Amino acid sequence: MKIHEIFFSIQGESSHAGVPCAFVRLTGCNLRCSYCDTRHAYEEGDEMTAEQVIERVGRFRAPLVEVTGGEPLLQPETPALVMALADRCYKVLIETNGSLPLKGIDERATVIMDLKCPGSGMSEHMLWENLDALRPHDEIKFVLTDRYDYDWALDIIKTHRLSERHVVHLSPAYGMLEPAELAAWMLEPLTDEALARGLNVRFQLQLHKYIWPGVERGV
């Protein structure tokens, strides 16, 4: 498989935010989001076997590993890598953009699915069947660029009753939406319909952006 980088950092997102984590970033992505911060992973990388990847990860002595990209599900070897990591008792997260089928992913792994909002320019590429393929322990995140994205995300969450089944994160796109603005929207009174459906979402910052501002690689 083609690997862009393997590094040790603080997990910046998901319900595991703040935890030291080994990251395996695979090369290649089928989307081109407006706010993408990993364009360098579109093509750059080196071929490595699963065993070579696992050996590198083992140097960090971290129990948490995230397989990310780019888009990791573009590479057919990814499910086998995830399984091999889980077999070695790692807690494995796999971050995917939601545009490819969630097939063959080990039940022990946690999928973090990035459901693309209109502001990304890629929402039409979402594979909506993936919402039914997610397991209860999988998580969903929405990266928001403006109020339209926020209202769109809430409508999707309510329509598909996502927050009743999964942990759902709302994240401001770094440099495009001020965190305080998103926080203010989330503190607005909920409608009776939202209350009845138990709308429950989490505010999320990309912690690594604030710990290492301006650093794109290795964090």
Please count the other Cβ atoms lying within 10 Å of the Cβ belonging to residue 52.
14
Please count the other Cβ atoms lying within 10 Å of the Cβ belonging to residue 167.
19
Whether residue 25 is annotated as binding a ligand: the answer is yes
Whether residue 29 is annotated as binding a ligand: the answer is yes
Whether residue 35 is annotated as binding a ligand: the answer is yes
Residues 35 and 143: beta-carbon distance below 8 Å: yes
Whether residue 52 is annotated as binding a ligand: the answer is no
Whether residue 70 is annotated as binding a ligand: the answer is yes
Residues 105 and 60: beta-carbon distance below 8 Å: no
Q: How far, in whole angstroms, is CA 53 from its chain's centroid?
A: 20
Whether residue 11 is annotated as binding a ligand: the answer is yes
Whether residue 218 is annotated as binding a ligand: the answer is no
Longest dimension (CA), the chain: 53
Q: How far, in whole angstroms, is CA 129 from its chain's centroid?
A: 17
| Closest listed residue to residue 114, CA positions, set 76, 62, 166 | 166
Beta pairing partners, 65? 22, 92
Whether residue 45 is annotated as binding a ligand: the answer is no
Residues 49 and 77: beta-carbon distance below 8 Å: no
Whether residue 68 is annotated as binding a ligand: the answer is yes
| Closest listed residue to residue 126, CA positions, set 107, 110, 140 | 140
Whether residue 191 is annotated as binding a ligand: the answer is no
Whether residue 37 is annotated as binding a ligand: the answer is yes
Q: Which residues contact 8 (CB under 8 A, 6 or more apart)?
A: 20, 21, 22, 23, 60, 62
Whether residue 28 is annotated as binding a ligand: the answer is no
Binding residues for substrate are: 10-12, 25, 68
Binding residues for S-adenosyl-L-methionine are: 35-37, 70
Binding residues are: 10-12, 25, 29, 33, 35-38, 68, 70
Binding residues for [4Fe-4S] cluster are: 29, 33, 36
Binding residues for Mg(2+) are: 38
